Amino acid sequence: MPSPRFIAFGEALTDFIRQEGQDWRAVPGGACWNVARVVARLGVPSASGGAVSQDVFGQQLLAESLAAGLDIRFLQSRPYPPLLAMVPERQPPAYFFIGENSADLHFDVDALPADWEQALAIAHFGGISLARPPLADRLLALAHRLYRAGKPLSFDPNYRTIMAAPDYFPRFEAMAAMARYIKVSDEDLAALYPGLPQDAAMARLRRLAPQASILYTQGAADMCLYEQEARFRQPVFRVAVADTVGCGDAAMGGWLASLLTRPEAEPGAHLRFAAATAACAAMRTGAYAPAADDVAALLRQDAR
């Protein structure tokens, strides 16, 4: 297996998604794991850098990682409880988390394979892992190390209520100041900068991260890509939506995969690919990771 060009560091967990009535469906998920799986399915050698439990939930995450083509040497198995995300509402998704002393908190950077940084083209961070000490500080230290080594970083805050803790915002600012690629949603901005209009919140983020390309998602409204002084717009693809769980992760993964596989493409082409990847994910329940053929078919269909 080729060394990963892309690694997403952070949570791999199990989503418990409420179905009709009182039934719940358990599916592998987690923002960082979702992004890694999307990038891998789109043809980039990738890994999820994190830790999972040794029970049935962790075993399923490892199996799904293998099926997606992820390098599972980076997904550590630890004898601790699983991290669970409860999703009582699907449209729009609502979450709460169960994970006291869970396996994800025991991720060990020093246990990664030897020379793992050599082929790395982008390292991704974000999600609730940056709000869960002691893992949060461990990941931030890793991000600083990679940044100093000249490795491009990507960042998606993927805001959840757990991030309302006062020690999260300094980590958010530190990550944004280092990241070359940032995805943020309108809901993220509203939570991170409460009381500010969306334009003012985006302006504040751009001042914090003037070096970054920023992918801005707005649910069913247009996606935007900010590149220095330029802004590109892309309408969302009109598809039959099953649910929107994992759509933001799919947009992020599609954008990064496009950057890695087509570095010569124009920013608008990368944005269009990100939107198509998100649309493919929306057509399936749960955090679906589209294959390259899925995205290509949607792009061809839309071009007719």
Q: DSSP assignment, residue 201? A: H
The three-state secondary structure class of 178 is helix
Angle at 6 between CA 53 and CA 206, to 5 degrees: 105
pLDDT tens-digit profile of 217-237?
998 889 999 998 899 999 989
Task: Give the sign of the dihedral formed by CA 135, CA 138, CA 143, CA 146.
Answer: negative
The CA–CA distances, whole Å, from 227 to 42, 181, 206, 211, 248 equal 23, 10, 10, 9, 19
Q: Which residue has the tokens 């006062």?
A: 166
Burial class (CB in 10 A: 0-12, 13-18, 19+), 2: exposed
Q: Please say if the pLDDT value at position 245 is more than 80.
A: no
Q: Using 50, 70 and 90 to split pLDDT, how confident is the model at 91?
A: low
pLDDT tens-digit profile of 19-76?
877 888 898 999 999 999 999 999 999 999 999 999 999 999 999 999 999 999 999 9
Q: Please say if the pLDDT value at position 253 is more than 70.
A: yes
Q: Which residues pair with 234 in a beta bridge?
A: 223
Check residue 93 and give its pLDDT.
67
Check residue 22 and give its pLDDT.
81
Mean pLDDT of 263-289: 92
Task: List the structure tokens of 248.
Answer: 């933001």
pLDDT tens-digit profile of 184-218?
999 999 999 999 999 999 999 999 999 999 999 99
Spatial CB neighbours of 149, under 8 Å, sequence gap ≥ 6: 117
